[in-house]
């Protein structure tokens, strides 16, 4: 019996070596692969984004109105610079908290694709949302806040299901898109239709379009 057992272990080891996964003789669990581990570093850009938002709010709370010039001033060439700074500025604590929670969830889902992918999507969304707010708002209107990013992340996650091939995890993306719509769909809809004065539906709309565009550019063409 002992000879049979030794031959069995040798045969098993040989099979795993052919598979490139030979079991460690000292391992308590043999013949099993390691579970995938998520690198926490992929969330660094998202954490930095949220952190800067709160730092900016703290500054504006201590010195009210001191950072308004960082917003997007419509139809003003100098205001175009706000495209990349406006997402960090918020008009109040409720505005900031609402965007923080949504960005944390949606941004984390995108960050799972990698930090570079998160930055790529964010840049595209911020650019389209900012240009849309700058061009469509009435002249002189100042737009601030990260709502455009929220709508863009939503658009990217939902549209990604349409632009992904079946062999590239389409089913998983469809399920993810359904969950995202179930949780955020109503908020997105009412953020576009019948918004009250003082809320930039322009940034919301173009942010959403920016997310769809990012999904097409990245998922549809396989680019980063």
Q: What is the pLDDT of residues 26-39, one digit of tens each?
A: 333 444 445 567 78
113 and 210 fall within a common domain: yes
Answer yes or no: do 56 and 135 share one domain: yes
* pTM for this model (two decimals): 0.82
In this structure, are 10 and 104 located in the same domain?
no
Give the per-residue SS3 of the chain.
CHHHHHHHHHHHHHHHHHCCCCCCCCCCCCCCCCCCCCCHHHHHHHHHHHHHHHHHHHHHHHCCCCCHHHCEECCCHHHHHHHHCHHHCCCCHHHHHHHHHHHHHHHHHHHCCCHHHHHHHHHHHHHHHHHHHHHHCCCCCEECCCHHHHHHHHHHHHHCCCCCCHHHCHHHHHHHHHHHHHHHHHHHHHCCCCCCCCCCHHHHHHHHHHHHHHHHHHHHCCCC
If asked whether residues 185 and 123 sit together in one domain, one would say yes
123 with 138, same domain: the answer is yes
Is 30 found in the same domain as 100? no
Count of domains in the chain? Answer: 2
If asked whether residues 71 and 105 sit together in one domain, one would say: yes
58 shares its domain with 147: yes
For residue 60, give the CATH number of its domain.
Answer: 1.20.1540.10
In terms of residue numbers, what domain contains 171? 42-220
For 28-32, 81-85, 139-143, 182-186, which range has the lowest pLDDT when averaged over its residues? Answer: 28-32
pLDDT tens readout for residues 139-178: 999 999 999 999 999 999 999 999 988 777 889 999 999 9
Q: Is the Cβ–Cβ distance between 23 and 30 less than 8 Å?
A: yes
Q: pLDDT tens, 93-132? A: 999 999 999 999 999 999 999 999 999 999 999 999 999 9
Q: Are residues 19 and 81 in the same domain?
A: no
What whole-number distance in Å separates Cα of residue 49 and Cα of residue 87?
9
pLDDT of the residue at 44: 97
Asked if 14 and 52 sit in the same domain, the reply is no
**Token digits of residue 75:** 């139809």
Query: Phi and psi of 138, rounded to 5°?
Result: -65, 150
């Amino acid at each position: 019996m002992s000879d049979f057992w030794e031959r069995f272990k040798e045969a098993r080891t040989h099979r795993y070596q052919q598979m490139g996964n030979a079991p460690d003789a000292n391992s308590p669990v043999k013949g099993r692969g390691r579970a995938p581990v998520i690198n926490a570093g992929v969330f660094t850009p998202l954490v930095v984004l949220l952190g800067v938002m709160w730092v900016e709010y703290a500054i504006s709370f201590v010195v009210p109105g001191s950072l308004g010039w960082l917003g997007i001033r419509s139809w003003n060439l100098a205001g175009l610079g706000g495209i990349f700074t406006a997402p960090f500025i918020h008009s109040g604590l409720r505005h900031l908290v609402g965007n923080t929670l949504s960005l944390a969830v949606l941004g984390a889902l995108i960050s799972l694709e990698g930090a570079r992918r998160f930055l790529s999507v964010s840049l595209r969304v911020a650019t389209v949302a900012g240009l849309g707010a700058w061009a469509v708002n009435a002249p002189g209107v100042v737009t601030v806040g990260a709502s455009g990013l929220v709508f863009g992340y939503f658009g990217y996650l939902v549209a990604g299901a349409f632009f992904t091939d079946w062999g590239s995890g389409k089913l998983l993306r469809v399920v993810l898109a359904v969950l995202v719509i179930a949780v955020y769909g109503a908020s997105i809809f009412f953020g576009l239709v019948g918004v009250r004065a003082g809320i930039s539906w322009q940034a919301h709309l173009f942010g959403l379009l920016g997310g769809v565009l990012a999904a097409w550019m990245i998922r549809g063409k396989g680019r980063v």
